[in-house]
Structure 1
Amino acid sequence: MRFTLRQLEIFVAVAQSGSASRAAERLALSQSATSTALAELEKAYSQMLFDRVGKTLRLNDTGQWLLARAAELLDRAQELEDSLSSQRAMGPLRLGASLTIGNYLATLFVADFLKRHEDSRVQLAVHNSSDIVAAVARFELDLGLVEGDIQHPDVVAEPWLRDELVVFAAPGHPLAGKKRLSRQEVLACDWILREPGSGTRSTVEHAFGGDRQHLRVRLELEHTEAIKRAVEAGLGLGCISRLALRDAFRRGSLVELAVQDLDLRRAFYLVRHRHKYISGGLATLIEHIRAFTGDATSTDDIALAPVL
C-alpha cells in the first residue's frame, strides 16, 4: 500500500482548509512536513490532487473523487481506534445546526445525549443553513440540522420536523390587533429579517414570491433574539419561527399578525454527505435525535420549558 492514514489525514485537512499552512496549524505539524506528505502522496500515484493558484490549493477532479473516500476511510479508522481504546465507538461527533434549531432544540437533545452516553463527545457548530450544508459537503461536519429547501448535489436531506414562520409586531404597531391583513398592508411596512443564506430568509422570500422585491428590509440580523428585540423596539415587522416566539406571545411583548395567502410552512432536515460513513456513534446520535422528539411531527408538538 503506497499511502498512509497520516497522508490521507493531511490531504483531507488541506482540502478543507485550502492551504498547507492552515492544515499544518490544524494538525499541529510543521508546514514543511505537511507539504512533504502531500507531495509524497501525489508522487506515489503520479496524480495531482490540487490546482495550485498562488498560495491557494484547489481540489481538482481527482482530488474531489479522493476526498469523499479518504474522509470515509478516516472515519472508519477513528471508529476502530475508539473501539480498541474502549471508548464504545462514540468518538468526537461533529454536529452542525441552523440558528433556529441550534438555539431552541439542539442544545436540549445534545445535553440529553451526553448524559446518556458519558464517554461521548459532541462538537456543536451553530450557523445559518447554507453554511451548515456547505460544511457537511466538505466533510467538516458529520451531521447537519437545517431548515428550508436543500439544494446540494453531495448532500442527502432526510425530513425531520415541520415548522412554521410567523409574521409578528410590537403590540403598539398600527397593524397589531387587526384580524386579517393583506400582503399590500404588510409590504407597506418596514421589516427586520434574517440575513440572506439563512433558511428563515429563504422561506420568507419564497412565501412572498414575486412580491419579495417589494419587501422594505430596514435591518438584517443574524440572530432571532436580536430580531425580536428590534421588533419590540418598534423598528418594523419580523418573521421567524413560531418556536422562537412562544414566550414572547405568552408575555404579550410581541403579537402575531395574520396575513392572507402567505404560506410560511417549512421543514427541518437532517443532512449528511451522501458518501459519509455512518459510524456506530453517529448512528446512535441520529437515533437519539429522532427519539428525543418522539411522536412529534411539528415543532408545535414539542414541549419546551417557558423562559421567564
Structure 2
Amino acid sequence: MRYSLRQIEVFLACAHHQNVSRAAASLNMSQSAASSALKEFEQQFELRLFERTGKRLRLNELGRQLWPRAEELLERARELEQSLAAHGDLGRLKIGATLTIGNYLAAAIMARYMAEQPGTRVELEVANTALIADKVLGFELDLGLIEGELNHPDLEMIPWREDELVVFCAPQHPLAQRKRLSDRDLCQATWILREPGSGTRQTFERAVAGLLPQLHILLELQHTEAIKRAVEAGLGISCLSRVSLSDALKRGALVELPVPQRNLQREFYFVLHRQKYRSSGIERWLQLCRELA
C-alpha cells in the first residue's frame, strides 16, 4: 500500500481546517510533520489536492472528489480498531442537534446509547438547522437531528418523527382568554421569535405565509428558554415546538393560543451526508431515535 492512514488523517484535517498549522494541532503533530505527510501523499501519486494561497489551503476538484472516500476509509479503519479493542464497541459519535431536539430529546437517546456501551463517547453539538447542515456537509458531524427542511444534493433527509408548533402567551396577556386567534389578531400582536436559519422559524414563516410582512416582530432570539421567559414576562406572544412547551403549559405558566386556520405541523429529520460511511454506531443511534420517538 503506497499511502498510510496517517497521511489520510492529515489530508482530512487539512481539508477541515484549510491550514496546515491548525490541522497539525488537531492531530497533536508538529507543523513540519503534517506538512511532510501531506507533501509525500501528493508526491506518491503525482497529484495536487489543494490550491494554496499563502497559508490557506483550499480543496481543488480532485481533492473534493477524494474527501468523502477518505472519510469513509478512515471511519472504517477506526471501526475496525474499536472492534478489535473492545469487541464490538459502537464507538464515538459526533451528533448535531437543533435547539429543540438537543435541549428536550437528545439526552434520553444519549443515555440509552452510552448505557449499552459503557465508556463510549458521544459529542453533542447544539445549533440551528443551517449550521448543523453545514457541519454535516463538511464531515464535522456524523449526522444531524434537525427540525427544518433542506434541499441539498449531498444531503440525505430521513423523516424521524412528527412535531407541532404552538402559539402561546403568558396567562395575564390580553389574548390568553381567546378561544382562537384570527389572522387579524396575529398581525396586531407583538411577536418574539426564533432567529432566521432555525427550523422553528422556517416552519413558522411557512405557516403564516401571506402575513409575515405585517407581523410586528419585537425580538429574535436563539434560545427557546429565553423566548419562554420573555413571553412569561409579558413582552409578547411566540411560537415554539410543543416538545419545548409541554411542562410550562401543564403548569399554567404559559397558555396555548389556538390558530386552527394555520398549519403548524412539521417533521423532525435525520440529516446525513450521502457519501458518509454509516458505521454500526450511526445505525444504532438511528434505531434508538426511532424506538424512543
Whether the aligned pair in 1 keeps the contact of 2:89 and 2:117 (CA below 8 Å) is no
Question: Which residue is equivalent to 2:202?
Answer: 202
Question: Which residue is equivalent to 1:151?
Answer: 151
| Paired residue type of 1:245 | L
Q: Tell me the TM-score normalized by structure 1.
A: 0.91
Q: Tell me the TM-score normalized by structure 2.
A: 0.95
State the shift of 1:13 in Å.
Answer: 1.1
State the shift of 1:100 in Å.
Answer: 0.4
State the shift of 1:119 in Å.
Answer: 4.1
What 5-or-longer segments of structure 2 have no aligned partner?
none
- Secondary structure of 1:140's counterpart equals coil
Question: Which residue is equivalent to 2:84?
Answer: 84
Whether the aligned pair in 2 keeps the contact of 1:98 and 1:129 (CA below 8 Å) is yes
Worse overlay, 169-178 or 47-56: 47-56
Following the alignment from structure 2 to structure 1, what is the Cα–Cα distance between the partners of residues 89 and 4?
Answer: 22
Question: Which residue is equivalent to 2:18?
Answer: 18
Whether the aligned pair in 2 keeps the contact of 1:147 and 1:199 (CA below 8 Å) is yes
Tell me the C-alpha RMSD between the 2 structures: 1.5
What are the Cα deviations for residues 99-149 of structure 1, in whole angstroms up to 9, with x where unaligned? 100111100111122112224221111111111111111111112111121
Following the alignment from structure 1 to structure 2, what is the Cα–Cα distance between the partners of residues 32 and 59?
Answer: 20
Instruction: Give the fraction of aligned pairs with identical amino acids, expressed as a percent.
Output: 53
- Secondary structure of 1:152's counterpart equals coil
Whether the aligned pair in 2 keeps the contact of 1:90 and 1:119 (CA below 8 Å) is no
| Paired residue type of 2:170 | A
State the shift of 1:55 in Å.
Answer: 2.8
Whether the aligned pair in 2 keeps the contact of 1:95 and 1:125 (CA below 8 Å) is yes
Whether the aligned pair in 2 keeps the contact of 1:165 and 1:264 (CA below 8 Å) is yes
Question: Which residue is equivalent to 1:218?
Answer: 218
Question: Which residue is equivalent to 1:305?
Answer: none
State the shift of 1:54 in Å.
Answer: 3.6
Question: Which residue is equivalent to 2:49?
Answer: 49
- Secondary structure of 2:29's counterpart equals coil
Question: Which residue is equivalent to 1:304?
Answer: none
Following the alignment from structure 1 to structure 2, what is the Cα–Cα distance between the partners of residues 98 and 69?
Answer: 27
Question: Which residue is equivalent to 2:94?
Answer: 94
Question: Which residue is equivalent to 1:264?
Answer: 264
Following the alignment from structure 1 to structure 2, what is the Cα–Cα distance between the partners of residues 91 and 260?
Answer: 46
- Secondary structure of 1:158's counterpart equals strand
State the shift of 1:189 in Å.
Answer: 1.9
What 5-or-longer segments of structure 1 have no aligned partner?
294-308
| Paired residue type of 1:162 | E
Question: Which residue is equivalent to 1:136?
Answer: 136
Whether the aligned pair in 2 keeps the contact of 1:80 and 1:89 (CA below 8 Å) is no
Distance change >3 Å, CA 47–CA 209, structure 1 → 2: farther
What are the Cα deviations for residues 76-98 of structure 1, in whole angstroms up to 9, with x where unaligned? 00011111112524221111111
